[in-house]
Amino acid sequence: MAFEKRVALAGSHREAAAGASPVRPVDNNEVISVTVLLRRRAHVESLRAFAFSGPDNVTHHTREEFAMAHGASAADLVAVEAFAHEYGLTVTQSSQARRAVVLSGTAENMQLAFGVSLHHFSSRLGTYRGRTGPVMIPEELQPTVTAVLGLDNRPVARPHIRIHPEAQAAPAGSLTPVQVAKLYNFPANATGSGQTIAIIELGGGYRTTDLKTYFSGLRLKQPAVKSVSVDGGLNRPGVDQNADGEVMLDIEVAGAVAPGAKIVVYFAPNTDQGFVDAISTAAHDTVNKPSVISISWGGPEDSWTQQAANAMLQAVTDAAAMGVTVTAAAGDGGSDDGVGDGKLHVDLPAVLPPVLACGGTRLNTSHAAISSEVVWNELATNRGATGGGVSTIFPIPDYQASAKVPVQPETQFAGRGVPDISGDADPVTGYQVRVDGRNLVIGGTSAVAPLWAGLIALCNQALGHSLGFVQPALYKLDGSAFRDITTGDNGAYNAGPGWDPCTGLGSPNGAAMLTALQGQAALAGGA
């Protein structure tokens, strides 16, 4: 097959990173791996609607059923493989379920195949291999290919953690995850048994000796933890303290609040390719079969290419349609998501409508009880604040139709509101964890994603089925399921009664939430 006429792949246009300058062209012999993502075989419209409304629009499938109904067609896979061979590229992986073909080849052949010019750029992000302009694909593949990721390997996300400056002293106000779960009235008669929590990591690593010491100190059985390598990502502790802090925080919080659940950590490179592939791999994992995916990394929604953002949306929509709940940190930079350009930004993937976006609070305690809870905002001392706001890209989903989400102030766009819910995130009232042989106190919305992932695992066990795409259910619950946070702000947005762009519906009253969800399930069963 000859591929002659070329067209620009929709949404693939890229600019250099802010302040970046090309240093040198790539070596033609450098080996590059890219992921080519393909369209769904069928029911595209129903799944697109599902991402913005809820589970009534589509039947939940097992992973195997989903692959057959919504995976890539054999013809599309063959067409991409033929294109690869035409340009001397090797097919290293072909997945019908994930609708992904991974290609490997020299930089010279990749540039010819995709009509790009690759250079090494120097930027505040460090040195990265990058491109500018669009990716070009054969006209014959235009209906088939939805994204080409991996040509550009700039870092796309950051871990949403904040380490307390007096971290090693276990300062007053800091808490163990077990104490946080008790304060939030997590269901006492569930452990998460039978559930698997997937954790997405874009760097760092964990040490089993630290986990053993930590859970022993909490008088809990050490959870079963295993790692999965995606796109060459590895469990590599000791290289980056922030990334290690993220990994350990995620495992220790999820493992402490749902000690009966299995934990699988998917390590991938911090690139758009790695991030998308990690989520997709976890969602479609037929071996470990996670029921919850926790994500504590992200970046401003408008920093992503359209093709990458759409690929992330497809991955989390797949997860939701297979009954997998996805939780994600809303960010630690306040209402501008830490960009510092004087404009408002929300974080991706938290902003994706199928994702349970997790905001942050300051949880003040006295005599083992909550004395007050306010919006996390320590911007005055440069210790961060919860992300939150309104999307400029994703329209408001059906489940937020009655939540009184304001229009985005700068664009007047009726967008998806972030976050959905919240939990303790202020480093001043942060979580006592163990990282690289040291005891630390860490906050950030990074802690809230695994906290809620653990709560979802507990509820799944108690309900006897997976909650999956949980927002439509949560937004229908009465106020007893949440602690409504009405005090504080995250910069541009203020907290108030009901949903707000700082803490969403509020922090959890776990047992009451479970009871309300059981009531919903009983009504649905009797309908």
What is the rounded CA–CA span in Å between residue 447 and residue 525?
A: 34
CATH class of residue range 158-513: alpha beta
**Could you read off the pLDDT of 250-300 as tens digits, one per residue?**
999 999 999 999 999 999 999 999 999 999 999 999 999 999 999 999 999
- Whether 456 shows a pLDDT value over 60: the answer reads yes
pLDDT band of residue 165 (cuts 50, 70, 90) is confident
pLDDT of residue 257: 98
**Could you read off the pLDDT of 376-398 as tens digits, one per residue?**
999 999 999 999 999 999 999 99
pLDDT of residue 51: 61
pLDDT of residue 168: 61
Alpha-carbon 198 to chain mean position: 11
Q: Is 126 left (phi over 0), alpha (psi -120 to 50) or beta?
A: left
**Could you read off the pLDDT of 194-213 as tens digits, one per residue?**
999 999 999 999 999 999 99
Q: Which residues are catalytic?
A: 246, 250, 446
**Could you read off the pLDDT of 226-242 as tens digits, one per residue?**
999 999 999 999 999 89
pLDDT of residue 523: 74
What is the arithmetic mean of pLDDT over 101-129?
Answer: 96
**Could you read off the pLDDT of 474-525 as tens digits, one per residue?**
999 988 999 999 999 999 999 999 999 999 999 999 999 999 999 987 777 6
**Could you read off the pLDDT of 187-196 as tens digits, one per residue?**
999 999 999 9
Residues in the chain: 527
pLDDT of residue 526: 44
- Whether 463 shows a pLDDT value over 80: the answer reads yes
Better pLDDT: 521 or 89: 89
What is the rounded CA–CA span in Å between residue 299 and residue 158?
A: 7
* Helix 272-283, helix 306-321: angle, nearest 10: 10
User: Which pair of structure tokens corresponds to residue 424?
Assistant: 């303790």
Among the ranges given (40-44, 46-50, 55-59, 219-223), the one the predictor scored with the smallest mean pLDDT = 55-59
H or E stretch including 276? helix 272-283
Q: How many CB atoms lie within 10 A of CB 28?
A: 12
Burial (0-12, 13-18, 19+ Cβ within 10 Å), 120? middle
What is the arithmetic mean of pLDDT over 429-443?
Answer: 95
pLDDT band of residue 443 (cuts 50, 70, 90) is very high
pLDDT of residue 45: 46
Confirm if 418 and 505 have CB atoms less than 8 A apart. no
pLDDT of residue 170: 75
Among the ranges given (61-70, 165-174, 263-272, 409-418), the one the predictor scored with the smallest mean pLDDT = 165-174
H or E stretch including 246? helix 241-257
**CA distances, 289 to each of 282, 285, 292, 461 (Å):** 8, 5, 9, 15
End-to-end CA distance of the chain: 55
pLDDT of residue 205: 98
Helix (H, G, I), strand (E, B) or coil at 47: helix
User: Which pair of structure tokens corresponds to residue 349?
Assistant: 């993937």
DSSP assignment of 187-219: -TT---TT-EEEEEESS----HHHHHHHHHHTT
Average pLDDT over all residues of the chain = 94
Neighbouring residues of 45: CB distance < 8 A, sequence distance ≥ 6: none
What is the rounded CA–CA span in Å between residue 308 and residue 495?
A: 32
Helix (H, G, I), strand (E, B) or coil at 144: coil
Q: For residue 385, what is the DSSP state?
A: B
Confirm if 235 and 227 have CB atoms less than 8 A apart. yes
**Could you read off the pLDDT of 256-266 as tens digits, one per residue?**
999 999 999 99
H or E stretch including 171? none
pLDDT band of residue 56 (cuts 50, 70, 90) is very low
What is the rounded CA–CA span in Å between residue 311 and residue 65?
A: 21
Alpha-carbon 84 to chain mean position: 31
**Could you read off the pLDDT of 329-374 as tens digits, one per residue?**
999 999 999 999 999 999 999 999 999 999 999 999 999 999 999 9
**Could you read off the pLDDT of 299-325 as tens digits, one per residue?**
999 999 999 999 999 999 999 999 999
Q: For residue 151, what is the DSSP state?
A: S
Q: In the beta sheet, which residues pair with residue 94?
A: 101
**In degrees to the nearest 10, what's the CA dihedral of 483, 415, 156, 304?**
170
Better pLDDT: 101 or 19: 101
What is the arithmetic mean of pLDDT over 32-38?
Answer: 98
Q: Would you list the domain boundaries of the chain?
A: 6-149, 158-513
- Whether 107 shows a pLDDT value over 50: the answer reads yes
pLDDT of residue 41: 85
pTM of the model: 0.96
Q: For residue 28, what is the DSSP state?
A: T
